[in-house]
Amino acid sequence: MKTHEYPHHDHDMPRLDQPRQPATDFTQQVTHTVKDAAQHATQAAKDLYQSAATRAEDTLVQSKQYVSVNPLAVVLGVFTLGLTLGCMLGLSHHHQDPTIRERFGW
């Protein structure tokens, strides 16, 4: 065995005293990997946006159809909701006036 060789050295594996690949090749590989990942993320975001936009449009169309078929039910529902919220807000801001004893501390 020669003194400058590693014992049991696999010739397919690079030696530690030799660079595995130039830094520019490594940088290019990393850059390519990052660009590829960014493209995949961008496409996934576009697909998600398109899906959400389609669902929102479908929901709007269905809502318009429901309102045109059931206008009285919608008006009564909105009136009931408004009345309920109005009562809840009115009661939450209502505070009892102090009595004369409470005002003057008698």
Where are the chain's structural domains?
33-93
**Cβ neighbours of 15 (radius 10 Å):** 13
State pLDDT tens for residues 64-105: 999 999 999 999 999 999 999 998 887 776 677 888 888 887
For the four alpha carbons of 18, 21, 27 and 33, in that order, the dihedral sign comes to negative
Q: Which two tokens stand for residue 101?
A: 């004893």
| Farthest-apart Cα atoms in the chain, separation | 111
- Residue percentage of the chain with pLDDT more than 90: 53
Residue 74's Cβ-count burial label (10 Å; 0-12, 13-18, 19+) is middle
